[in-house]
Amino acid sequence: MSNDRKLIINNKTVFQSEPFSPQNRYFTGFFGRENELGQLTAAWMAGEYALPMCPLLIGKPGTGKNRLIYEISRRTGRQLYIFQGHEDVTAEDLACTVRFSDNNNSVMDYILSPLVTAMNNGGICFIDEIGKIRPRALALLVSVLDERGYIDSTLLGERIHAKPGFRFVAATNTTDLNLLPEFILSRMRPRITISYPPKEEIDSIIRDLCKGFRNETDKLIDLFWALWTEHGGKPGGITPRDAIYLFGWASKLSIFDKTGGTGSLLESSQDKPFDIDLHNFYTGIKPEHLKMAFRIMFSDSFLIKN
């Protein structure tokens, strides 16, 4: 573990969590969501006599909750620390954990959670899937989310106060909202709903994905919506994640065919392996590849009738 993450807290050597830095090649354009981005930013405004709020993003999987957080981190210039919620999170996991040390002079290392690291560095803490964390563990968050602005770690035996730049946000799927206890919900305001984007935003996302496709893009978009409506889908009923995966899958099917497809794969061996690294990335998608990707991706969906 690198020394630049090392920290001394009351004579205890601890290591901080790493921030998350989205790679630009995977996160290029950001489309729509101006209202949601504005609401989140406004909630974080703070000053000498005003505390920042702790928003909660609510929406179905794939609607863009995480992407919104990546974007606000980029626009505000704050480091982003992500804590992934799940059923087995304990209260101490939210503060500090230990691991076997790489240092021969030490047995164990203290590891600050993403939450405490963000508090210490004045960064953004994003708890994803907060609705999956049990109430007993979430109780430790109460003093973080109100005017006290600190967290107590039993493992460290320390109280850690948040630096002035610290901001907090969490997200939950719609189905998990009712699992959050009232003592957390009452402190997480505003609640910002992330719904399915309109057709125009999906079109913009697809165009950004297909920006190297020359004159094919509009025809592919028209074909996609024709397939979508043919099988009972509504223009405002697809998530950005599904649209991105669909066109990415179609592009890979096209690349696979261009490199020889199944014939080349069956002729390959350990001595002459099939190259799966995209050195010469082909950015074209043929209609048959989009149709195949659509059929495979949504074959188990309620949309497919036949």
pLDDT tens-place string over residues 32-71 = 888 999 999 999 998 878 899 999 999 999 999 999 999 9
Least confident of 100-109, 111-120, 123-132: 100-109
Mean pLDDT over 73-102 rounds to 91
Q: What are phi and psi of 116, to 5 degrees?
A: -70, -35
Of 213 and 138, more confident? 138
- DSSP 8-state code for residue 91: T
The per-residue pLDDT for 306 is: 38
The per-residue pLDDT for 104 is: 62
Q: Which helix (H) or strand (E) element contains residue 104?
A: none
User: In the predicted model, is pLDDT for residue 211 greater than 90?
Assistant: no
pTM of the predicted protein model: 0.86
pLDDT in tens, 11-30: 778 899 999 987 665 556 77
Domains of the chain, residue spans? 3-193, 199-297
The per-residue pLDDT for 19 is: 94
pLDDT band at 31 (very low <50, low <70, confident <90, very high): confident
User: How many helices and strands in the chain, by DSSP H and E?
Assistant: 11, 11
> Looking at the domain 3-193, which fold is it?
Rossmann fold (3.40.50)
pLDDT band at 280 (very low <50, low <70, confident <90, very high): low
The per-residue pLDDT for 194 is: 93
162-195 CB burial, b ≥16 within 10 A, e <16: beebbbbbbbbbeebeeebeeebeebbeeebebe
- Planar angle of CA 99, 102, 107, nearest 5 degrees: 60
The per-residue pLDDT for 103 is: 65
Distance (Å, whole) CA 158 – CA 155: 8
Q: What are phi and psi of 261, to 5 degrees?
A: 60, -150
In order, the DSSP letters of 5-74 are GEEEETTEEEEPPPPB---TTTS----S-HHHHHHHHHHT--BTTBPPP--EEEE-TTSSHHHHHHHHHH
